[in-house]
Structure 1
Amino acid sequence: MNNDLILEDNWTGGEGSNAEGIPVMVRYRQNLRGFMESGDYPTKIEIHWSYDTDEASEMPAPGEADVIDNFETALIYALESDRQSILASVITGQGEKRWAWYTSNAESAQERIDTVLFDFERLPITIATTDDPNWDDYFAFIADFGGAA
């Protein structure tokens, strides 16, 4: 972990729809090049939350949306407070919310996630960890949504 790096809270995002016309909201953090180039964040952790949709919007139903927001806030506090992990992108739609984190230590990040989970009832999430030292998935995400890192 490089404590000299500054984590800005600059996000780009938008709302659109997939090929079937289902609404999708995306956001990704800008100005992460220093974290990428440091080589200290080689692992991506994706957390997927399968939610019940509000039929009108295809987004999370209001009660579940509040729990999802509280979970995200707790994760940010647990993982980013010392820059152990960095939230890079979030996508919501089609009955799922996905957070993509880059971490300096996957085992430590999982322990922190487990600690957060103790504060919630059983959640409909899955967690996947992949090696992505060049942040290829992050750049692919940005390319899919027309931005630049």
Structure 2
Amino acid sequence: MDNGVEVLLPMVASLHRGARILWLRTPPRYESKELGACLARASANLGRRVACVGSTDLTHYGPAYGFTPMGLGEKAERWVSGTNDKAFIDALLEMNCELALTRAVKKDAACSSGAAIAALGFALESGASSAKLLGYSTSLDLRPDDSFVGYAAIVFV
């Protein structure tokens, strides 16, 4: 099972008992935006209340991931959070699918960016007009290591 689903399913189950869940994987391509938009249109046409959650980790940095363009240490940590992850997050906050996808793929800023793009496509089709960053952290916040991963929570409203 996908780790994003393993994390999200228990939360959905506890917050929304009886919710029906459709789990999809979508590649890091522009068509993922249209997938999200199609889901929004289908739910509206059926008169269903539907929420869309997209899950992706951000930059996977360090020797364990074979990705160390800024070396190791504090410089690398600052680059991941202040440059690489920030660029992807900022594109999502701007609600710009094309820019988010470009930054994710070309900068290795997200491992499942298609999910984030699909969620944004769903939000845009559903009338969302703004995005809010709820939080950002890296695995370093819990455990110091040369290899680490970034995480963010964003809501589209």
Structure exhibiting the larger radius of gyration computed from Cα positions? 2
TM-score (normalised: structure 1): 0.29
Q: TM-score, normalised by structure 2?
A: 0.28
Which protein has the bigger strand share?
Answer: 1
Greater helix fraction, Structure 1 or Structure 2: 2
